[in-house]
Amino acid sequence: MRPFSILLIHTQHAIQRIGTGVYRKHLRYAPLTMPTLAALVPADLPATIRVVDEMVEEVPLDATPDLVGLTAITSASTRAYELAAHFKARGATVVMGGIHASLLPDEALEHVDAVVRGLAERSWPRLLRDYCAGTLQRVYEESPADPPVTIAVPDRRQIKRERYIANNTVEMSRGCTKRCDFCVTHELHADYLTKDVDQTLAEIRSFRGPLSGKLITFLDPNVIGNVPFARRFFTALTRLRKWWVGCVSIDLLRHEGLLDLLVASGAKGFLIGFESLDQQALDSVNKSFSVTEEYLAAIELFHRRGVMVQGSFVFGFDSDTPETFDKTVDFIIRAKIELPQFTIFTPFPGTAAFRRLDAAGRILHRDWSLYNGHNVVFQPQQLTPQQLQDGVRAVWERTYSLPNIVRRLAGPPYLPKIPALLSNLNFRRFMRRVHAGR
């Protein structure tokens, strides 16, 4: 079997891409998709592997790899197709996986030689063996008859750690038990999968350095998606005396003792998808497990327990009006949410939201590069597209004004406020660049 070279590219939208983007180190986290694919290359195959994340390095366009693997979310899919055309012209076989290709495989196959849908743990090694045998298929995916997959451990040698503020990234589960109609997670991973507890703890123990080895960033869509597993995992994590940040759903407080356990295990920051202060909006997108009346008390409790809050809010729900913007900013300042982030409602292809709005004739276009959360791609119900665009820009500007940054960061928890301040200043710069000229 002849040796061959593999180039794995994590494609990024122009906003995040080095050279054209506005992300700085304090907004970067190390993705694990391509390091995981690198780890899944069978040891008996004579392959050399290079991983490139466009967020932190340029793609080597002058390279001549034998096989190119691409992954892309929807907003980066047009970039992936551009790279596919480039490397195919240089003689490479090009394959693609990730969210967009998994949900729109027929579109992706117009640009690449093969698509990996969903999980790659079994499909990617099978693709590689077929490639070596000259029997490459067009689509690779899990079969319902296959036994449950085991989440692979990434090859961390492929991560350029010094280029990310969050470089100790960990995945202890995949999928989400919630079914929000605008989210791609449950469309991509129908089941909630968990990694072996001891295996994940071994990964975490491998992180070194008095400071760099202390803070862990979980990439899971919801670290409490399976509560019994979460109790086992975070009980074990407590012994390592680490700090961590990760995504949780606001309903964690309905599980007795769970917040206490998360705090004891080192929780220092929660990313929570509040999305809206209007219960009608949440109910309309199958997110009734979030109760807006509980938001303020929950945030205050998190702060008293030493946990900062990164809150996600979405604008463009059918019940949103021009008054929604100021109401949301007022709440964020009152609640002292340390790191709020705002996006425009985006009906990603393959989701229930897209199907619903498409059936109603409300999808404005299919330029996937604009499906990035910062552009209006559908017709809102009670706002014009321009009102929605302008309203979100005003929310960013008001929330991230210097006086309001100070107001939001005043009060407990006090320990992590310097990193929070740096992140706020980077977000302030980032969004000013994103909204420039609008």
Structure confidence by residue, pLDDT tens digits, 368-394: 999 999 999 999 999 999 999 999 999
CA 368 vs CA 107, 286, 349, 362, 364: distances in Å = 12, 24, 9, 16, 11
Helix H or strand E segment including 68: strand 67-71
Local structure of residue 166 (DSSP, 8 states)? B
Write the burial class of residue 315 (CB in 10 Å: 0-12 exposed, 13-18 middle, 19+ buried): buried
Please write the tens of the pLDDT for every residue from 80-89: 999 999 999 9
pLDDT of 438 over the 60 cut:
no
The phi-psi region of residue 129 (left if phi > 0; otherwise alpha if psi is between -120 and 50; otherwise beta) is alpha
> Per residue in 269-281, pLDDT tens?
999 999 999 999 9
pLDDT band at residue 21 under the 50/70/90 scheme: confident
If you count them, how many residues does the chain have? 438
Gap between the Cα atoms of 172 and 5, Å rounded: 30
Rounded CA-CA distance 280/257 in Å is: 29
Residue 422 pLDDT class (50, 70, 90 cuts):
confident
Per the model's pLDDT, the better-predicted residue between 83 and 416 turns out to be: 83
What's the confidence (pLDDT) of residue 259? 97
Residue pair 25/36 in contact by the 8 Å Cβ criterion: no
Residues contacting 131, CB < 8 A, separation 6+: 67, 93
Distance CA 302, CA 418 (A): 18
Can you tell me the distance from the alpha carbon of 267 to that of 15, in angstroms, rounded to the nearest whole number?
30
State how far Cα 156 lies from the chain centre: 19
Please list the alpha-helical segments (H only) found in 48-181.
Answer: 77-89, 99-103, 105-108, 123-133
Has residue 45 got a pLDDT over 60? yes
Amino acid at 267: A
Q: What is the mean pLDDT of the chain?
A: 93
Mean pLDDT for 410-429 is 82
Residue type, 276: S
User: Is residue 147 predicted with pLDDT exceeding 90?
Assistant: no
Q: Is the dihedral of CA 195, 197, 198, 202 positive or negative?
A: positive
Angle, CA of 287, 118 and 269, to the nearest 5°: 50
For 216-262, what is the HEC assignment?
EEECCCCCCCCHHHHHHHHHHHHHHCCEEEEECCHHHHHCCCHHHHH
Residue type, 189: H
339 pLDDT higher than 60: yes
Residue 74 backbone dihedrals phi, psi, to 5 degrees? -60, -45
Element spanning 407, H or E: helix 402-409
pLDDT at 16 exceeding the cut of 90: no
DSSP for 326-385, written as a single string: HHHHHHHHHHT-SS-EEEE----TTSHHHHHHHHTT-B----GGG-SSSS--B--SSS-H
**8 A C-beta contact, residue 101 and residue 108:** yes
pLDDT at residue 23 above 80?
no
29: Cβ contacts below 8 Å, ≥ 6 apart: 164, 165, 166, 167, 169, 217, 219
Regarding pTM above 0.85, the answer is: yes
- Residue 161 token pair: 């750690």
